[in-house]
Structures are given as structure tokens and as C-alpha cells.
Structure 1
Amino acid sequence: MVRILFPTLVGRRNHPTQAFGVLPTLEVSLGYEVHAIVEREDWEQMEVGGSDGAMVRREVAKKAMKRVVRREVTDYELIPEGRNIRVTEETKHEYVDLVDEHILTTAICPKINSFLEGFNELVPKELISIFNDKEFELLLSGLPEIDLDDLQANTEYTRYSAASTVIQWFWEVVKSFNKEDMVRLLQFVTGTSKVPLEGFKALQGIYGPQQFQIQKAYGAPERLPSAHTCFNQLDLPEYSSREQLEERLLLAIHEASEGFGFG
């Protein structure tokens, strides 16, 4: 089941970063365009791309979008008079959220409602509304067995190395976690509790195979770790002690029970 459905099943809205993480798996070209708008400073100069079903009109960069499906072209205004409103650096995140909402909610609303109608005949809404989306995913699939040695062997580092003190503390802390917190960490960084059948060497990102990554995060030393689920990436500050790392990491992954961590 596509994980974007879990919040809908329990009667909650998708968090914007959940949509951001799953969109490229559904529409590759559009996912690339949307991600580039967020991540790249030169997004306004990029060429419009894609012939696989969707593209963003950025030669005008308005709050409207054009989709090409089976050679039929349809224009959508994401907000009233959106075709006449330019997207700017200050408003690009709003634009990305509007694209996500249109593709993953508005455009498929009748199908979602039909799915929910059938699903709720089998599982009454009131029985599952007490859960959040991550709890419901675990209820359906159970707690996975996480091989931490395999995860550690298939982790890449940026501005850290495997020998860095903070990284050694990180693995000591994670190996002391109970099973539930290990799953929370996996959900926090990758967006899902599922472990690939072939092990963590087969972990997928939005553009294909993507190993678990830990990157040094700059900023205030007491800041929480954050995650980019599109890239299976944990941004980990250089904490001054193992105890501080453990406290900050646990706080981050528990807070993420209500939404994906995203820095």
C-alpha cells in the first residue's frame, strides 16, 4: 500500500513533507521538478522536463500547472487566478505544497472516496481513528526485524566518518534502543517502517537505490536531528556528549510520530 494513504485511512491530512517524499515515486518527472524547486537556487532557470505524464510550466512559473496525460493537455489553477501569479523564492514552498495537494488529493478525490467507502465497510472508521498513520502502518505490518549491523554496514557519511566520535556514539545509542524506538528511527529517516527483503543495501530513495545517510548538521548545538526522507538522510548535529545525542535523538523520533521530520 502506498504510504500516502495511511493518514487518509485514519482520517488525517497528509503532512506536506510526506507528500513531498512520495510524489516522485508516483510521477517521476513531476517529482524531480518539484524537488528541484525546493532544493536548487537556480530553479527559475531550469528547463521544463519530462515526457512521462507530467510537467510543471516554469517558463512562466505561475501558480498553475499543466499536465499531459495520454497526450491530452489539461491546465489546472492551483489557486484562483493562479495562472496570473508568479512563483517567487519566497512563495515556492507554498507552490510545492499546492502541487502535492492537487496530485495526491484533489485530482484523485473520487477514487480516494470510493476506496475509503469500501475500506470502512470492512474496518469501521471509529475503530482506527485513535491511531496516527505510523501506528496504523505498524498495526497492519507489525514491527520489522531490523538488523543494525546490516544498517551500519550500508550507511554513508557526509562531513563525518565511521570513526567520528559522534558517529560511534550514534551507533552505541541506537543499539541500546528497544524495538519500538528502532522502528521509529527507521520511519523518521526513511519514511517507512519496512526493511527491504534484500537488506539495507537495497534501500530505495526517490530516484532509485539510496543508502542510509548520516550528514553533519550545522547550527545550534542543542538543535534536534532532522531527516530528509526522500534521500534516507539523517542530519545529525555534532553533540558534545553521548547523553545529549541520546536525549535529542529520542526526542526527535518520538515527536515525529505526528509527522515526518524534515529539516
Structure 2
Amino acid sequence: MCYADEIVILHGIFFKLLSKLDMCLVKIEEHMDRQIEQDGENSSIGCYQHLAILKELNSISKLYYGCEEVFWETMKCRKGAFCHLIVRYAQRSDDNKWILDCKEVTNFEARRHLALMMLPELKDDYEDLYEMLIDRSNLLAESFEYIAYADIESLHAGLFMEFKNEEATGPGVLREWFFLICQAIFNPQNALFVACPNNRRRFLPNPASKVDPLHLEYFTFSGRVIALALMHKVQVGIVFDRVFFLQLAGHTITLEDIRDADPYLYSSCKQILEMDPETIDQDTLGLTFVHEIEELGTRKVVELCPGGKSIVVNSKNRRQYVDSLIQHRFVLAVAEQVAHFAQGLADIMSCRRPQRSFFQCLNPEDLDLMLHGSETAISVDDWKAHTEYHGFKETDLQISWFWKIVGEMTTEQKKVLLFFWTSIKFLPVEGFSGLSSRLYIYKTSEPIDRLPSSHTCFHRLCFPAYPTIGVMRDRLNIVTQEHVGCSFGTL
């Protein structure tokens, strides 16, 4: 048999195998639709082999013209089953880069799984965890000392957190620390990050952060904190602006990308590009290749290119002017800050690939969901469905009153109650089903004048059998005040 015959045979094997696997993926989708999971070692091994065979088929498809397109079109048709295989069977030790050759065949769950596998796996043994003892009144500075100067390897096992002069320890305290430290890091008053004008919960690096001599060290620290929050799967209520995400992924920043980061600059650049050529060539705008910035309270003019002060913007170079302006404003002005933040992320990552691989796994919206959590209002029905009772029965008046009161709360009060109960203020995208455990309400034997207390590590809320709905409402109103948070009661 000649070499050419072998090539033809391999081509035929590719299509036969792809057809067989397509039928297997159809069966997986049918099982998923019926919410049936196959048990037993053999079925698990078989499904794992499906993903391994698909990887080899993808490699073979690159050898023949048009076959790679056929392969990915098949995966698009079986997207649900393909993503199920990724989430369930893709391992940290595998080379999963081939999956991202056609990222549109993946869903959020698959991309999140691939990205999180680049971070270390948390250790179960508390003795392996990196311990921190933080004073609430000096939260940012002491947290910086612990994280910025820690041995990198010691952070890979995970964190164990205590607040000074408080008895509480465990996961609930750590979740609270993540929330509080991220609020401090991204507080514009600390000059590290600035909020987008049209969306105050989106942030990007502050070009003027150099007012603090340690600002670059703080950016490295910030990158480590965000990576650790992702590693611990804690939603911190912070999201990155699209520009910041694209920088971390190593992508070029375009005009459309800056729409939220600087609406005024975006609008001005659009007008320049859409202006009538004759009008702009008459030097109506009076623009040259310079950019005026404010630095440490003084305004200065920066040339966008050598000799920029003498280069007039016209219809032929206006695109270059806009691109140079964007490059200076959003890339060069914060290059050091972004580089140090990226280094902090890379310090925590367990793989040897650059941090860009992590962001290239994701879409900007994916990171929003991972860092901020669910965008939808807290569902009381979902909350109730994931709550169990000890001492109380679901039919008790106190439980009926409780859920009636919760249903009448404002959105912010519900968040504060959830935070008091669990140290979680932002739910994962799956809602309450995405939490590490169910929630619990415990009946106590304390006097009825006592306020509710909580054990956030165990997702446990405790209160006595209040005699009336009015008494219960008064008690819950106190613990759902924003300043109380989860530092009130027993953690």
C-alpha cells in the first residue's frame, strides 16, 4: 500500500469516527434532557474517552482541507453535549488549548471550568492554608503586608482568615474579608482604580495612581487578591471594564471598546471620523497629534508621536490620530499598572502559561459573572427552596412570618440579610444552587428579646420563636441595616 492510499484511508476513518461520535453526543444530549446521569465506572471512562478521541480527531482534521470546519460545525450542532464533556471530564493535567480554537462552541460553564483549572486547587487540610490575622481598622495596609510579601507557593494552598479580637474563623470570615478588601482596593479614594462614568461598578486602572509611591506593588497585590478570590470561588461584587479585560488578554483596544470607559472621548473620536473630509481638511477642529492630560493637579501636553505638535489632523491621518489617542490614553498611560496587576495574577496561577491564557479562555461577560455573580434580583422562592430547618418546622408560624418579611424587603435589605447569614452578598450565576452548601435556620432557646445571630461558615441563621410577626420584623430590620453586616451576632 502506498503512502497516498494511507492518506485516503485516514481521511475515511476521520469521517466514520466523527459520525460515530456525533451519535454518541446525541445520546448524551438525550440523557441531559431527561436529567439522567449514567452511574458506574465504565460509563465514566467511556465519556472521558469521548473527549480524548475528539481531541485526536481535531488534530487529524487539520491535515485535510475543509475537515477542520466540518469538525467544528459538528461540535456546534452538539454544543450542549460537548460542553458537558468539558465540564465533567476535562482535567488540569490535560492540554485543553485545542478546545479554544473555536471558542464559540463553548458556553459559560465550559469556559469557566477551563479558566479555573489554571488556578491552584484548594487544599482541604487547614494546616496547609496560609494564615492571616487582620485588624479591621487597618484592613488594606495589613492585608497588603500579608499578601504582597508572602511566599508565592504558600498562597497556592488557599487562605485561612481571622479578624483581630474576634472569635470567628473559617470560610465565612474569609468570604467577608474578600468582599471588604476588594471594596477597599477598588475604592476610587485609594487612587488605584477609577470607575467608569456610566457604570460605577466597572473599574479600570487609574493613570494617576503614582500619587502613592507603592502603587505598583499595590497593583501586584490587587492581582493576587483577584486571583485568590477566583480560586476560592467568591463573588466580590467588582467587575472590570472591557478595556481592562482586553489589555489583560493581550488584545488591541479599539474605539468601540472605550465606549463605557470614556464616553466623552468616544463621542469626540466618532465625530472626528465621521466628519466631512473637506470640513476637517480646512482645519476646522484645530487639532494636532497631542493629548492634554492632568497629572498631580497640573495639566500637561503629551505628543502622540515625534513632532506631534506640528502635525495637523486631516482627513487622511484622522484614523491614525484616533488610534494614537486611544493607545496613549488606555494603553501607554497605564502600561506599568496593568503589567504589575497581571504579574499578581500570574503569581497565583498554577500553570506555566502566561496570565493571558486565562483571559483568552473567557469572554468579558464571563469574568463579570465570575467576579460579580448573578445580575438578577435575589429570588425568595429559590432562597426558600435551598433552606432547611432545625428546631423549627416548615409549617411553623415563625417560618411563614420569616419568608413573608423577607419577601417584603428591599433589594439591598435582602443582600444585607444574605451577607449577615452567609458572608455572601453576591450570589453565583446559578443562584442558591451554586453555593457550597444549603442554608439553615436554627431555633434557639434564647429570650425573645435577643436578635438573630449567624454562623456564616455553616450558612446558619439562628433566632428564638418570636411571639408575633411584628417582633420578628423589628429584629430583622435591625440586622439588615447596612452598617451591621455580618460582623453582628455570632459568626
Tell me the TM-score normalised to structure 1 length: 0.49
Which has more helix, going by share of residues?
A: 2
Larger Cα Rg: Structure 1 or Structure 2?
2
Q: Which has the higher contact order (CA 8 A, sep 6+)?
A: 1
